[in-house]
Amino acid sequence: MSINDMRQDVLKETGAVFFIFGATGDLAKRKLYPAFYALYKEGKLPERFAVIGLARRPKTRDQFQADLLQSIAEFARYKVKDGDEEWQKFSEHFEYMSLDINDVEGFKELRGLSERLELKFDIGGNRLFYLALAPELFGSVAQNLRQGGLLDGAGWNRLVIEKPFGYDLPSAEKLNKQICEVFKEEEVYRIDHYLGKEMVQNIEVIRFANAFFEPLWNNKYIANVQITLSETVGVEERGGYYDHSGAIRDMGQNHMLQMVTMMAMEPPSRMHPEDIRDEKVKVLRSLRVYGSPDEVRKNVVRGQYTDGVLRGKPLKAYRSEDSVNPESKTETYFGARVYVDNFRWAGVPFYIRTGKRMPVKTTEVVVEFKNMPDNVYLAQKTKLQPNLLVFRVNPLEGIYIKINAKQPGSEWMVIPVAMDFCQSCQVGLNTPEAYERLLYDAARGDSTYFTRWDEVALAWRFVDRIVGAWSEGDKDLQFYPAGSWGPEAMDRLMAEDGFHWWPINGQEESGVLWVKGQE
């Protein structure tokens, strides 16, 4: 029996109570409740479970369950109808309690509710606390959980917390110290939902389970790696938060650097969570730190969108968005040339970019292999293009490989051929959401795709060096029209190395013969 099977059996045998702090918030509505329902429908969540929704707002149990039904009907992969027997059984496991998180007496009352539900559903004292709250509240909630006696159950305790984990390294250290006064590191599950995405997890499998990739996965054969995380939306109603965060803190410190670690890590000695996370930490330790503000400016591009047009629709500038300072210097685009200075990757640039108001919503990783020598006989007759391996993470999931092949009917004409495997086409759109996987993993005690404290600290140390250089002035802030691919400075940075961004999902590459995978 595998470790995962054993974890699943333990969950089914003993069950758990899930405490959702921030139960009336957008995250709970859009992601968490639909995730619970999908896990229940697929038999991954045993009958021995209970969910307690917690928020300051007064709400009756019937009102809470009506909100729960609306959430699942609107956002879940599986459809539901009020009155269905299955829905009635599922909803019986949900309770709501109004709670002031600064009131210890309220936590003592919560303990009583938890014990009653554990008795009702024969749950073995296991408790998972999900904090869908602002980070500055994490410490006080953790302390009150202890003082309220909620950590004295017969089973395990686990704390799941959302990003952002701090605003910089000092604030993250302070936050971590507060949490670790109550919980052990192995009990803390820091969510980066990108690690729950199917194709991000598939990077490891593609690399380590295929003999024709891993031997080439080094600086002898790979010219560069390009990671794009682009959004078509602006800041929407998050202007107040975003203007104090920016792209580098919102996306760069977590999602982007985590994808770098997945691409660059060494094969773990065992498929054990700590061994996998050890290898990711080694990558973060190997990141080349920019030694001066001049080095930051040479390797990093920050941008902010101005007025523009996307698909014929006029878009307003970032500084005109609601709750944004009209003179804001906050970046909505972050791009960088990153080096992993270890034996495998020495000299290979990783180009990363993330931004808002870009032409296509997508997350892709492009591995560009080194080209054939120019004096090879075929290269003398035609211009050969480099081979590409592309991981499509979002919104479509899949992999494609671009190779060179003879054009049918010609004598020596060589053209690029793209072999495209569309995973979304194969399994359909009803695939598990990232939060389903991560919630399930946390309940089973599998921390593989959660970030450990040393990962968080090293990522902040890298990012803080960049932000520190930016604080010296705004002369390096670039502007780009909404609906474009960001500042031209990033293209010039890549051109210095002789590279360019490859067309991504949603933009067909001219002159490529497409050979589709399974439709």
pTM metric for this prediction = 0.91
Cα–Cα nearest to 72, from 41, 114, 117: 41
pLDDT of residue 332 exceeding 70, the answer is yes
In this prediction, residue 372 carries a pLDDT of 80
- How many CA atoms within 13 Å lie on the side-chain side of 416? 18
Q: What's the confidence (pLDDT) of residue 420?
A: 81
Question: What pLDDT score does 417 carry?
Answer: 86
For residue 502, which of 517, 491, 513 has the smallest C-alpha distance?
Answer: 491
237 contacts 324 by C-beta, under 8 angstroms:
no
Identify the pLDDT of residue 519: 36
Once rounded to an integer, what is the mean pLDDT over residues 207-231? 95
Q: What is the pLDDT of residue 506?
A: 47
Whether the per-residue pLDDT at 32 is higher than 60: the answer is: yes
Least confident residue range of 210-214, 333-337, 437-441: 210-214
For 89-145, write each residue's pLDDT tens digit: 999 999 999 999 999 999 999 999 999 999 999 998 999 999 999 888 999 999 999
For residue 189, tell me if it sits in a domain. no
Say yes or no: 156 and 224 in one domain: no
> DSSP character for 253?
I
Share of the chain above pLDDT 70, in %: 91
Under the banding of pLDDT at 50, 70 and 90, the label for residue 43 is very high
- The answer to whether the Cα torsion of 36, 253, 335, 499 is positive or negative is negative
As a whole number, mean pLDDT of residues 37-59 equals 94
Q: Is residue 168 part of a domain?
A: no
Query: Do 36 and 107 share a structural domain?
Result: yes
Average pLDDT over residues 236-264: 92
Residue 186 located in a structural domain: no
One domain, residues 271 and 404: yes
Q: Name the residue range of residue 290's domain.
A: 195-516
What average pLDDT does the segment 179-204 reach?
92
Give pLDDT, residue 297.
93
- The answer on 294 and 398 residing in a single domain is yes
128: domain CATH number is 3.40.50.720
pLDDT for residue 509 is more than 60 = no
Q: How far apart are CA 420 and CA 391, in angstroms?
A: 10
In a domain? residue 174:
no
pLDDT of 22 > 90? The answer is yes
* Residue 317 near residue 328 (C-beta atoms within 8 A): no
**pLDDT score, position 280:** 96
**Residue 41: pLDDT above 90?**
yes
Annotated active-site residue in 193, 255, 272, 500? 255
Q: Are 244 and 135 found together in one domain?
A: no
Of the three residues 162, 187, 213, the one that is the final residue of a domain is 162
Q: What is the DSSP letter of 449?
A: T
Give the DSSP letter of residue 415: E
Question: Do 215 and 69 share a structural domain?
Answer: no
In a domain, 183, yes or no: no
Same domain flag for 124 and 202: no
The rounded distance, in Å, linking the Cα atoms of 110 and 122 is 18
pLDDT in tens, 388-442: 999 999 888 889 899 888 878 777 777 788 888 877 666 554 556 889 999 999 9
Q: Does 177 fall in a domain?
A: no
Residue 438, classed as helix, strand or coil, is helix
pLDDT at 454 over 70: yes
Structural domain contains residue 178: no
Same domain, residue pair 81 and 210? no
Mean pLDDT estimate for the chain: 90
Whether the ω angle into residue 164 lies within 30 degrees of 0, i.e. cis, is: yes
If phi > 0 it is left, if psi is from -120 to 50 it is alpha, else beta; for residue 483 that is: left
Q: Does residue 371 share a domain with residue 239?
A: yes
Taking 90 as the threshold, does the pLDDT of residue 377 lie above it?
no
* β-bridge mates for residue 284, sequence order: none
185 belongs to a structural domain:
no
Q: How far apart, in Å, do the first and last CA atoms of the chain sit?
A: 35
The verdict on whether 193 is a catalytic residue reads no
Residues 179, 310: Cα–Cα separation, whole Å? 44
Same domain for 12 and 69: yes
Residues 214 and 330 in one domain: yes
* pLDDT of 3: 52
How many domains is the chain built from?
A: 2
Read off the CATH number of the domain in which 475 is found. 3.30.360.10
- Per-residue pLDDT tens digits for 271-312: 889 999 999 999 999 999 998 999 999 999 999 999 999 989
Given 162, 182, 212, the domain boundary residue is 162
Q: Which amino acid is located at 64 in the chain?
A: F
Q: Do 266 and 128 belong together in one domain? A: no
pLDDT at 511 over 60: no
More confident residue, 319 or 379: 319
CA–CA separation, 438 and 200 (whole Å):
13
